[in-house]
Structure 1
Amino acid sequence: MRICSIITSFTSGGAEMLVRDLAERFAATGHDATVIALSDAAQIGNDRETEAAMMAHIREAGGQALSLGLANRNAWIGGARALRGMARAMNPDVIHCHTARALPIVALARPRVPVVLTHHNSRLSFPPAAFHLFNRIADGYVAISEQCETMLRAHSRKPVQLIWNAANPRFRASEPRQPVAHDPMILAVGTVSEQKDYPTLIRAARLLAAALAPQGRRPRICIAGGGPMLGELQALVEASGAGSHVELLGARGDVDMLMRRADLFVNSSLWEGFPISLIEAASSGLPMVATRVAGNREMVVPGMNGELVPPGDAQALASAMAAILSDDASHARLSAGALESAGRFSIERCATAHLALYGRLRGNRSGHRAYGRLSIDRECA
């Protein structure tokens, strides 16, 4: 099968990591995998080194990594021209959009193959009325969590399939963690954005340091993630005096190694879809402290593999981290629970589910779909 996946850009976000890993798995099982970005990293303020590394990874695995090079991701006509030319060369059997921005571009390019949309969040980034358009373009939707499934079913008029996110096999640990380090490392992973609410984590860092100080311990919270707001977050760290407890690592390609060094994983998000970073942490045997929001609640089971706290509550976040880091027996139990819970989120299972969906949609779809009023100039054809 020839599979074309479309993302916003080659960056270190969870959706992009999943698409990269799926492309690698598709290629390993004999399928042609192409990943197309709407924009180059530099055009939208993302890290060029991360982009180069991701594209190289896909190509080394046997897939293709391309970009439409859109300075404006809403440039539908120009995007359709570029996509139409690429589609002629790759002749895909299915097009899977991992960003809703790609759907109008795909529609104008007029493919004669099934189109799938995954919305990688429990919140909509567009008005619900947009589904009137999306339902005319997409043959099916993929939900990455139960909350996402509920949301999509409320708006879509096409089949919705729940396919859980997955982590790359390189994160898998063979056994639970050793006792917590005297000066523990706490890791957070994700693009620096409003959604991740790192300011609350920075406030919690000082509270955590105060809680562990009587034990003579100095915790260090490391945040791995890039994005246009990274400079603003660095300024906040410096202004709040949290620099001795918080380190901003920027976009990283060695998150698996960082997780091996860490003692605890933390997620401070205000909302989520289903964070791949939590699956990676669980696969690494890391106990987790996360906010009690959709997506996180489906991965973190209090007392089994981590703890959940209210979003935006720095004191609760610090207290939960301090409790786990101060109790080796609890830490070991949660580490074992994390490994157990990670078992059902394998990339092999995720890829198999996607391939089965593509096969069904290809079987159900016959002929060329008309997009009504959506059309493209002849010079684009």
Structure 2
Amino acid sequence: MRIVHVSHTSQRGGAELALVRLLARPSRWDAAVCASPGGDAFAGLPVHGVPVQLDLPGLPGGGTRGKSPALAAKYLSALRAAARTLRDSPLVHEADLLHANSAAAAIICALANRRRRVPLVVHLRDLVDPESLGRFGFEAFTRIGLVRADAVVANSATTLRSAESRIGPGVFQAVLQSPSGIDRRVTTPSVADRVRTVGMIGRLQRWKGQHVFLEAFAHAFAGTDVRARLAGAALFGEAAYEEELREQAARLGIAGQVDFLGHVEDIPRFIDGVDVLVHASTRAEPLGQSVLQGLAHAKPVVATEGGGPGEWLRPGENGLLVPPGDAGALADALRTLAAPGDLRARLAAGAARTPGLLTDDECADAHAAFFGTVLGVRATASGRHPE
């Protein structure tokens, strides 16, 4: 299979890192990446035999959420320019399948592939609603990108449900776990005698809830020797939020207990170094990669209710769930986990037994089977026999 994977950005967002993990496995198909310049997310792929073409025009920031008609028009113009570049790419002319790695990439692919020469797979990595995609982004994606999909793959059942009413009849659909940096699963948990470090992984972005985490941590552990560790960088113009978090930590009197680590390459080592892993998104999370990573490493996990994490966590068995945006409830959960008793050990043992959790290699196998099925269905529909 010759598959061109299209990304609207090459910065290190969750969707881009998931694609890198998928393609950095031993080859299951002949892959290439088309993206815009400006980041280094895909820089390591050529070593794995994956060509990377960074010539798509970049998209203006805020174009999906701004209320300015002029900015929306500028954003749409950039999408069309990216589509023209993609349409003329020799990689696309040789492709058996186009894989749009994000909503914006789906719009670009749909505009470039108007004559439907190549089957288009749209990857749903965000909830399909105005809150997640922005009002303009939602309208453009559902009216241009999603309606031209030959197949749709979602990172969770919640994500797929958010788009079901907008997916056309006969479109092949699947829910597949995204690669989350899981090379192995810990089957024998190692639980410390007490909580010394509480960690959180995620891009520094307001809806990811780092401010909720810091408030909860202060309520539970201010003035103790327990440390908070934040793994994640501020991207896409979000440096102001990072500064706000640092000021919040100082205001709460925990600045000396909080480590801002920026982007962390070795996620397994980070997770192995914490006693409790927190997911604190303030709205429904499409997948919650950090939750999967914590479960794979048999760590006690606290996550917010709704979305993908709720599909994996069974409260009291392999983790705890709290309402989104509720720092008090999160603080109570942290105190409960830090209290004497066997709760952390029981949750860690439950995490190790979580069914259906895939390693990255297994995720690649599942995606290869999905792409092959899409090509087979398309070939059958056109009267050709799939090879």
Tell me, yes or no, whether TM beats 0.5: yes
Are the equivalent residues in 1 in contact too, given 2:107–2:140 (CA < 8 A)? no
> What percent of counterpart residues are identical?
27
Shift of 1:367: 11
Are the equivalent residues in 2 in contact too, given 1:6–1:38 (CA < 8 A)? no
- Letter of the 1:67 counterpart: L
Q: Paired residue for 1:133, among 118, 138, 144?
A: 144
5+ residue gaps, structure 2, are: 61-74, 383-387
5+ residue gaps, structure 1, are: 42-50, 370-381
Q: Paired residue for 1:364, among 354, 361, 377?
A: 377
Are the equivalent residues in 2 in contact too, given 1:267–1:289 (CA < 8 A)? yes
Within the alignment, does 1:32 sit opposite 2:30 as a pair?
Answer: yes
Distance 1:86 1:185, change over 3 A: farther
Question: Where in structure 2 are the equivalents of 1:125-274 lying within 5 Å?
Answer: 125=133, 126-127=137-138, 130-157=141-168, 158-170=171-183, 172-181=185-194, 184-210=196-222, 217-226=224-233, 227=235, 228-239=237-248, 240-241=251-252, 242-270=254-282, 271-274=284-287
Are the equivalent residues in 1 in contact too, given 2:45–2:51 (CA < 8 A)? yes
User: What RMSD in Å do the two structures reach over aligned CA positions?
Assistant: 2.6
Distance 1:269 1:107, change over 3 A: same
Query: In structure 1, the residue corresponding to 2:106 is in which secondary structure?
Result: helix
Equivalent residue for 2:313?
Answer: 300
Q: Which has the higher contact order (CA 8 A, sep 6+)?
A: 1
Are the equivalent residues in 2 in contact too, given 1:192–1:225 (CA < 8 A)? yes
2 CA distance for matches of 1:256 and 1:305?
19
Shift of 1:134: 2.7
Shift of 1:224: 1.2
Query: In structure 2, the residue corresponding to 1:272 is in which secondary structure?
Result: coil
Are the equivalent residues in 2 in contact too, given 1:196–1:269 (CA < 8 A)? yes
1 CA distance for matches of 2:140 and 2:182?
39
Equivalent residue for 2:104?
Answer: 101
Equivalent residue for 1:7?
Answer: 7
Q: Paired residue for 2:83, among 73, 80, 86?
A: 80
Q: How many residues align?
A: 350
Equivalent residue for 1:324?
Answer: 337
- Letter of the 2:353 counterpart: E
- Letter of the 2:51 counterpart: Q
TM-score scaled to structure 1, two decimals?
Answer: 0.83
2 CA distance for matches of 1:343 and 1:260?
21
Within the alignment, does 1:64 sit opposite 2:51 as a pair?
Answer: yes
Are the equivalent residues in 2 in contact too, given 1:8–1:39 (CA < 8 A)? no
TM-score scaled to structure 2, two decimals?
Answer: 0.82
